[in-house]
Amino acid sequence: MQKKNEHKTICSYCGVGCGIVVEQDSKGNISVEGDPDYPVNKGMLCSKGKNLNYVAQDTSDRILYPEMRWSRNHPLQRVSWDTALDRAAAVFKSIIEKHGPDSVGFYVSGQCLTEEYYLVNKLTKGFIGTNNIDTNSRLCMSSAVVGYKKMLGEDSVPISYDDIELSDCFLVAGANPAWCHPILFRRIENHKENNPNVKIIVVDPRKTQTCATADLHLQILPGTDVILFNAMARWLIEKKKIDKNFIKKHTVNFDAVKESAFQLSMKKAAELCGIPLEDIKKAAMYIGNANAFISMWTMGLNQSVIGVSKNVALMNLSLLTGQIGKPGAGPFSLTGQPNAMGGREVGGMASLLAAHRELGNPKHRKEVSDFWGGKEIKSEPGYTATEMFDALESGKMKAVWIICTNPIVSMPNVHKAEKALKNANFVVVQDISHNSETTKYADLLLPAAGWLEKEGTMTNSERRISYLPKVIDAPGEALPDAEILWRFAQKMGYHGFDYKNASEVYDEHCLLTKGTEIDISGLSYERLKNEGSFQWPVPHATHKGTPRLFTDYQFFTNDKKSHFNAPYTLYNKSELTNSEYPLILNTGRVRDQWHTRTKTGKVKRLLTHIPDPYLEMNKVDAYLRKIKDGDIAVVKSRRGTVRVKVKVNFDIREKVVFLPMHWGKVLNNDFGRANNLTNDLVDPVSKEPDFKYCAVEVTKY
């Protein structure tokens, strides 16, 4: 039973979405532990979650009151909330009047709560009259969104974490869940320990911690994933390990995928992927022989100039084997951020519309604009993340409002983002911490409430919606993001923003989902508080939620079938290596840090694992460059340089190097910031950037 000073909430970091019990003692000190009753983590927490109490209680870095400057030559000065939001409204109105609504935009975050995401969308698309609202989820999830829509009709993760214990084969591709989704991976490890026959296949150019549990590690050459998945598809078809009945009754386009899979021989595919042919066959055999097969993936597939092709090529394997809509089976995209899924539900991207409606569909646009009672919604997508920064740099966009994200560390080819913010007429940064490098570019800095300081909801990777209560007061004058947004909308003179609390925003969002495939009109705050978390859809007030989708094989497409998709290319379209830049840089996460370290960077315990940025390099490549373990090296790409300490091993493929993405400018301008190097090429459909393939050279410093 919950004690009086105990509060149940959700971890603010990754998309696993673990339940946490927060306890406050009589002096106000906070302690956290895993919620033993929460179905996701059953009491477990990883190192990041376990140390959230330090993040919540250390307010030394917090932005405490609104700060504003009248011109770039002036320092930021403390102002009242009214002055800050009056100025923001005056500047936005004047820019919109002069240059049109597409000259402004909002850049938000997969860490925003659903209510905040909902409001910023309503404000931008429904009232300002532009679709320029995008999110850092574009940098991590958008290729999976497009993949799901193409294959299943909507952006719909079909399975649950509870399917893990029902599966006997996992293909983990382009992901290191042992470090990046630790509690989810702990469940896989436990399952394997209890059932040694369960097969785990890992596809990664690096031998990561995830490989320690794997039966088979396919150490792939970066960029060749489509060729690998097609080769597996070919083997499954040739060996008659496909589910003909499922394909016939519940799919379309099988022939197109077959044709794509047969373009290359297995031998040629193995050669191009740099993987032994027998290993590809063995992996395909594990999948073909499985009773229940789950594929899991994250950024290694999504963050690519061919990210959508990689997604569909992988998902084709689930359709070929009929491994969807049944226990322990399905393609499972693991979300990086805690509420990337919630953001997508409210249409929180430049190319989406609320409740999985289509921006390109006039009926859908009218439904939403009638519901909001604002302007007609435009049919053309707004600027996506990288396009937004390009538009700021070129002057097409004049003002940007950045919420809960730190693009000065996280954007690809980050010098462009710096130029863009310098060039913008007006930059609003709404955040909790001065540790964010982006705050330095703010003309208006707004203090936001953080974790435990506001209420709202989030949806984790398995469609599970949970309620997060307000437990403590925000420091200084910080306000919940939702309140900042509705106060601003009121200053703009827009009607329909006279909310009194987050609950009213949530109710409005739920009503807008009614009758859609993600209907949560039966899920109130009261139910979430009293009955716990639910997986959507939850279409009526006694509905128990939906752990698994498509159990009736009725997919969300117009014809109700699942759609095979031939990848639009087999071959990687990233920038080319050459004699000047012969190595491929891959970027990613480390175990104890989160995003750009504004929170985890201030917890001493989390610095003991990996305290500084480093470059992982194969011993052969290091030897050829006379670099030893621990040396400082300069990494150079066509866009910039980074100085960093080198870790030498045989765990990473030759000709591939790895840099963590977390560090910004430390010590010196070029020390450790991976995105000095990365390129801003994007997938042509998902517009997700290509963080995983950038041509570099490394020399000893």
Report the interface residues with ligand SF4, using CB under 6 A. 11, 13-14, 16-18, 41, 45-46, 48-49, 181-183
Burial of 81: CB neighbours in 10 Å, binned 0-12, 13-18, 19+ = middle
Cβ within 8 Å of residue 507, ≥6 positions away: 524, 525
Distance CA 253, CA 415 (A): 43
Closest to ligand SF4 by CB, 15 vs 539, is 15
- Give the nearest distance from C-beta 642 to ligand SF4 in angstroms: 26
679 close to 637: Cβ distance less than 8 angstroms: yes
Residue 62: beta bridge partners? 433
Cβ within 8 Å of residue 674, ≥6 positions away: 585, 587, 613, 642, 659, 660, 661, 663
Closest to ligand SF4 by CB, 454 vs 464, is 464
Please choose, from the candidates 119, 169, 221, 245, the residue with its C-alpha nearest in 3D space to the C-alpha of residue 505. 119
Cβ atoms within 10 Å of 27's Cβ, excluding its own: 5
Reduced to 3 states, what is the DSSP secondary structure of residue 43? coil
- Give the nearest distance from C-beta 302 to ligand SF4 in angstroms: 18
Q: How many CA atoms within 13 Å lie on the side-chain side of 206?
A: 26
- Give the nearest distance from C-beta 51 to ligand SF4 in angstroms: 10
- Beta strands 293-297; 169-173: pairing state: parallel
Burial of 241: CB neighbours in 10 Å, binned 0-12, 13-18, 19+ = middle
Burial of 653: CB neighbours in 10 Å, binned 0-12, 13-18, 19+ = buried
- Give the nearest distance from C-beta 187 to ligand SF4 in angstroms: 10
Closest to ligand SF4 by CB, 14 vs 484, is 14
635 close to 657: Cβ distance less than 8 angstroms: yes
Q: Please name the residue that has the structure tokens 């863009």.
A: 420
- Give the nearest distance from C-beta 593 to ligand SF4 in angstroms: 11
CA 457 to chain centre: 17
Reduced to 3 states, what is the DSSP secondary structure of residue 474? coil
| Helix, strand, coil fractions of the chain, as percent rounded to 5 | 35, 20, 45
- 537 prior amide bond cis, ω within 30: yes
List, in sequence order, every beta strand (DSSP E) within 503-640: 534-535, 562-563, 583-588, 614-618, 632-637
Closest to ligand SF4 by CB, 49 vs 325, is 49
Closest to ligand SF4 by CB, 32 vs 218, is 32
Q: Output the residue with the shortest Cβ distance to ligand SF4.
A: 49
494 close to 466: Cβ distance less than 8 angstroms: no
Closest to ligand SF4 by CB, 10 vs 211, is 10
Torsions phi, psi of 49, nearest 5? -60, -40
- Give the nearest distance from C-beta 589 to ligand SF4 in angstroms: 11
Closest to ligand SF4 by CB, 210 vs 641, is 210
- Give the nearest distance from C-beta 327 to ligand SF4 in angstroms: 24
Run of H or E residues at 619: helix 619-624
- Give the nearest distance from C-beta 188 to ligand SF4 in angstroms: 13
Closest to ligand SF4 by CB, 48 vs 199, is 48
- Give the nearest distance from C-beta 549 to ligand SF4 in angstroms: 22
Closest to ligand SF4 by CB, 179 vs 499, is 179
Closest to ligand SF4 by CB, 213 vs 557, is 213
Write out the DSSP string of 298-315: -HHHHSSTTHHHHHHHHH
What's the token pair of residue 322? Answer: 């009929």
Closest to ligand SF4 by CB, 135 vs 600, is 600
Closest to ligand SF4 by CB, 182 vs 205, is 182
Closest to ligand SF4 by CB, 87 vs 597, is 597
What's the token pair of residue 231? Answer: 């080769």
- Give the nearest distance from C-beta 182 to ligand SF4 in angstroms: 5
- Give the nearest distance from C-beta 37 to ligand SF4 in angstroms: 15
Closest to ligand SF4 by CB, 184 vs 403, is 184
What's the token pair of residue 91? Answer: 């500047």
Query: How far apart, in Å, are the Cα atoms of 193 and each of 185, 213, 287, 379?
Result: 12, 9, 19, 51
Cβ atoms within 10 Å of 546's Cβ, excluding its own: 17
Q: How many CA atoms within 13 Å lie on the side-chain side of 492?
A: 27
Closest to ligand SF4 by CB, 11 vs 659, is 11
- Give the nearest distance from C-beta 180 to ligand SF4 in angstroms: 8
Distance CA 517, CA 536 (A): 9
Query: How far apart, in Å, are the Cα atoms of 238 and each of 63, 215, 249, 511?
Result: 61, 23, 20, 49
Side chain identity at residue 176, one-letter code: N
- Give the nearest distance from C-beta 89 to ligand SF4 in angstroms: 37
- Give the nearest distance from C-beta 54 to ligand SF4 in angstroms: 14
Q: Please name the residue that has the structure tokens 């999948």.
A: 287
Write out the DSSP string of 147-194: HHHHHHSSS-----GGGGGG-SEEEEES--HHHHSHHHHHHHHHHHHH
Closest to ligand SF4 by CB, 461 vs 513, is 461
